[in-house]
Chain A
Amino acid sequence: EVQLVESGGGLVQPGGSLRLSCAASGFTFSNYWMSWVRQAPGKGLEWVANIKQDGSEKYYVDSVKGRFTISRDNAKNSLYLQMNSLRAEDTAVYYCARDSVTGANFDYWGQGTLVTVSS
């Protein structure tokens, strides 16, 4: 059974940093692109970033470029999101998601971790 379990969310002040983690199991993690998708309270879904199987390619939504860094450790079956210079508008539930083989959708999602940026 595919499982994705996020951790690391919490309350952080504007300008602060946070590192999210996603532990994957039930599939060969190193065979898949992986993504972070977020959802602000009461709002819709927004893709944030993704990373290639070997970590050699990474892509970001414009609003987080230069502030967020996606990474992975295939030996630990883990995905990460380092978030720096956090802003109030980054407040959201952050989901770890597995990209499908085509990369055109997300076939498995974690339960999400809440990040709140507030003073």
Chain B
Amino acid sequence: QSALTQPASVSGSPGQSITISCTGTSSDVGAYNYVSWYRQHPGKAPKLMIYDVSNRPSGVSNRFSGSKSGNTASLTISGLQAEDEADYYCGSYTSIVVFGTGTKVTVL
């Protein structure tokens, strides 16, 4: 299984919205509504932010939203805040979970 493709970096100013893409194939992202998104601050463990394409776990801000179209999933962060600066990984279920290449989000 190959890693899903994400942009290496995305940046935005405080208050702006950004979108991170996650491109897979018809065997992973396109096959199931099981895309998840994780945020990872430097030196910390990943944290689940979105599951099953667009669902937020309890306690996750509604500034985070997810969607999917065909073989590409997206994570949108609205009202960008300094604490959002981190690495973000998508994941897709294919009988196992395959992760994306990761995107570094910078808040300008």
> Which residues of A are in contact with B by a Cβ distance under 8 Å?
35, 37, 44-47, 50, 59, 61, 95, 100, 102-112
B97–A47 contact, CB under 8 A? yes
A41 to B84 Cα, complex, angstroms? 22
Contacts of B34 in A (CB 8 A): 102, 104-105
Return B21 CB to nearest CB of chain A, in Å.
15
A102 to B44 Cα, complex, angstroms? 25
A111–B45 contact, CB under 8 A? yes
A50 to B96 Cα, complex, angstroms? 9
- Indicate the size class of the contact surface on chain B: 20 to 34
Given contacts A45-B99, A46-B99, A47-B98, contact A105 B93 (CB under 8 A): yes
Given contacts A104-B97, A105-B34, A107-B51, contact A45 B46 (CB under 8 A): yes
A104–B45 contact, CB under 8 A? no
* Interface residue from A102, A105, A108 paired with B91 (Cβ < 8 Å): A105
In chain A, what residue has the closest Cβ to B101? Answer: A44
A110 to B34 Cα, complex, angstroms? 22
Q: Does B100 contact A (CB under 8 A)?
A: yes
Interface residues of B in 44-70 (CB under 8 A from A): 44-48, 51-52, 57
Contacts of B32 in A (CB 8 A): 104
B96–A45 contact, CB under 8 A? no
Return A98 CB to nearest CB of chain B, in Å.
10
Complex A-B: 16 CB contacts under 8 Å: A37-B46, A44-B3, A45-B38, A45-B89, A47-B96, A47-B97, A47-B98, A61-B96, A104-B32, A104-B51, A105-B51, A106-B97, A107-B48, A107-B57, A109-B45, A110-B45
A38 to B97 Cα, complex, angstroms? 13
Interface 0/1 of B78-108, CB less than 8 Å to A = 0000000000010101001111111000000
Contacts of B98 in A (CB 8 A): 47
A100–B51 contact, CB under 8 A? yes
Given contacts A103-B93, A104-B36, A105-B91, contact A47 B99 (CB under 8 A): yes
In chain A, what residue has the closest Cβ to B47? Answer: A109
Return B103 CB to nearest CB of chain A, in Å.
10
